[in-house]
Chain A
Amino acid sequence: MAIKQLTAFLANKQGTLASVTKILSDAGVNLRALSIAETEEFGILRMIVNDETTAEKALAGAGSLIKVTEVVGVKIGDEPGKLTAALEVLDRAGINLEYLYAFMARTEKHAYVVLRVADNAAAEKALTDAGFYLIRQADIEKL
């Protein structure tokens, strides 16, 4: 059920991000969502892409440190309170959230939230039981 997130370890230096996105665009990869966690010295770039196999190959081939992590993607309505509702589900299930980021759907009126938790299966079960729709890898490719 989980979706695949690509993570790259980058030096916190001018131009590094552009060099990564250039590798992806040259490989014909389309970004769906991205988020950066940065410190003074390094950045961790997390991406959801339309074709993670091609993206991973292209980045690893260029010498980048790449890791594929399984994360939970949940679809929520694009209106106030919907994210809170999803987070409360996790909270009630005792699931600790490491980080999240969100992106909007292009056509439909809802958003997608990418959740990083220690226990994907537990988070998926809690959200499904609460009636949320979890996105799959196949959904990402079609977005």
Chain B
Amino acid sequence: MSNYYQKEIETMPVEQMKRLQSEKLVKQVRHVYENVPYYKNLMDEKGVKPEDIHGIEDLHKLPFLTKADLRDAYPYGLLAKPLEDCVRIQSTSGTTGRRVVAFYTQNDVDLWEDCCARAIVAAGGSNKDVCQVAYGYGLFTGGPGLNGGSHKVGCLTLPMSSGNTDRQIQFMTDLSATILCCTPSYAAYIGETLKEKGYGPDDIPLKAGIFGAEPWTEEMRRNIEETLGIKAYDIYGLTETSGPGVSFECEEQTGMHINEDHFLAEIIDPDTGEVLPEGEKGELVFTALDKEAFPLLRYRTRDICVLSRKPCSCGRTLIKMAKPMGRTDDMLIIRGVNVFPSQIETVLLNEGYQPNYQIVVDRANNTDTFEVHVEMSPEQFTDMVSEVQKLEKQLAGALKTMLGINPAVHLVPPKTITRSEGKAVRVVDKRKLI
């Protein structure tokens, strides 16, 4: 039997949860309609009034919000509270266009930190734990979110932020950190560095890790669990809804429980916008039920996902979402493995490359071939063939760790990746022609 941070909510009977969600939704729609002209216009265009929403059964009547709306409304267009009531912003990296700026009232921050606290307790955390937060601190939600959650649980919090791996390891070992929170790729990197320094899984006191903010594979999970001697828990979230803690894994590790008292989830058909029944694969959509400052209704995440209400052995009744299986925009399946260009971009940035790359997928002898072409930067170039090949090998290794499959990496001269209308063509899938 599991420990809970907020037992009453986390184990609430489903019907009661739905009633709670309905009550909150009715109030939230009114709050947004009255305070966010941008969304009021969308509702008016659709002919929906707040009084048409009596509960979650009417959710489908509301208009969607997309990334494009966030861009159009930047920076204040979706703000639902006066700035006097806001205490914080967080922001995205802005790699896919204009950055998202999300606003928080003190209550928003509190509820978000509660969500992260639920994740930490589900990973076995308590006030006896030392929680090392190695997510970036600052505009990125990872560090502040888990830091706040760790405080709420009462862990001794090590606010490390990301990077400086030697220092991470020093604090981890000197202060006996028991929980590590960071991106899965950084966890893998810390694991490798520990191994190089001669630490085995039994030499480090870590018992659990809470890893998210980027897609990762089951193979990566097993690798991290083995090298660090821990149980690795997935956590999901996005700046648009708050940050990490929208959903989290329990010890069953079969999907992430959505904090559905705060975030109402739907799965829709990405093409028609039609709501799909539970268990069907489609685009994940969130409605923030409690957020005051930046309450997005029916926000389309572009993550492809499945929801499930199958009872969980941990005792939580919160609905579960599978690890996102891709994006509505750019998912590739190579040798049966989901590959997102965003994962490749993450690795390139981590390895010091510019994200100028092209994925070439083909099929030879009934097997997918997988090449990643990357433009070499002047700093990396040397006059030696062996050095170039070494760089290619290193990058292929880093991509393998992230994706679970081995690409052939080819470094190419700058500006040789095909660009159409100024935008690089990221994926060339020749298999479609067969």
Contacts and interface: CB of A to CB of B under 8 A. Distances in A.
Contacts of A39: 385, 389
Given A39-B389, A44-B388, A63-B415, A69 B383 contact: yes
Contacts of B190: none
A63 B384 contact: no
A11 B385 contact: no
Contact of A67 (B381, B410, B414): B381
A9 B385 contact: no
Interface in B376-423: 376, 378, 381-385, 388-389, 410-416
A11 B412 contact: yes
A65 B376 contact: yes
**Interface centre among A44, A63, A65, A99, by most B CB within 10 Å?**
A65
A42 B415 contact: no
Interface in B296-318: none
B412 A42 contact: yes
Interface string A99-114: 1000000000000000
Given A65-B378, A67-B378, A11 B413 contact: yes
Contacts of A79: none
A42 B388 contact: yes
A15 B378 CA distance: 22
B413 A44 contact: no
Contacts of B414: 63, 65
Contacts of B412: 11, 41-42
A17 to B, nearest CB: 13
Contacts of B411: 42
Interface residues on A, range: 20 to 34
A143 interface: no
Contacts of B389: 39
A67 B413 contact: no
A65 B389 CA distance: 16
A26 interface: no
Does more than half of chain A's interface fall in helix, strand or loop, or is it mixed?
Answer: strand
A16 to B, nearest CB: 9
A10 B384 contact: no
A42 B416 CA distance: 12
Given A42-B411, A65-B376, A5 B383 contact: yes
Interface string B72-94: 00000000000000000000000
Nearest to B384: A98
A46 B413 contact: no
B382 A37 contact: no
A116 interface: yes
A124 B428 CA distance: 50
A64 interface: yes
A28 to B, nearest CB: 24
Given A41-B410, A42-B388, A65-B376, A7 B415 contact: no
Nearest to B412: A11
Nearest to A10: B413
Contacts of A64: 413
A66 B413 CA distance: 10
Contacts of A65: 376, 378, 381, 413-414
Interface of A: 5, 7, 9-11, 37, 39, 41-42, 44, 46, 63-67, 69, 98-99, 116
Interface of B: 376, 378, 381-385, 388-389, 410-416
18 contacts: A7-B382, A9-B376, A9-B388, A10-B413, A11-B416, A39-B385, A42-B410, A44-B383, A44-B384, A63-B414, A64-B413, A65-B381, A66-B378, A67-B381, A67-B382, A69-B382, A99-B384, A116-B383
Give 7 closest A-B pairs by Cβ, nearest first.
A7-B383, A37-B385, A69-B383, A41-B410, A65-B413, A9-B413, A67-B381
Given A10-B413, A64-B413, A67-B382, 20 more contacts: A5-B383, A7-B383, A9-B381, A9-B388, A39-B385, A41-B410, A41-B412, A42-B411, A44-B384, A44-B385, A46-B383, A63-B414, A65-B378, A65-B414, A66-B378, A67-B378, A67-B383, A69-B383, A98-B384, A116-B383
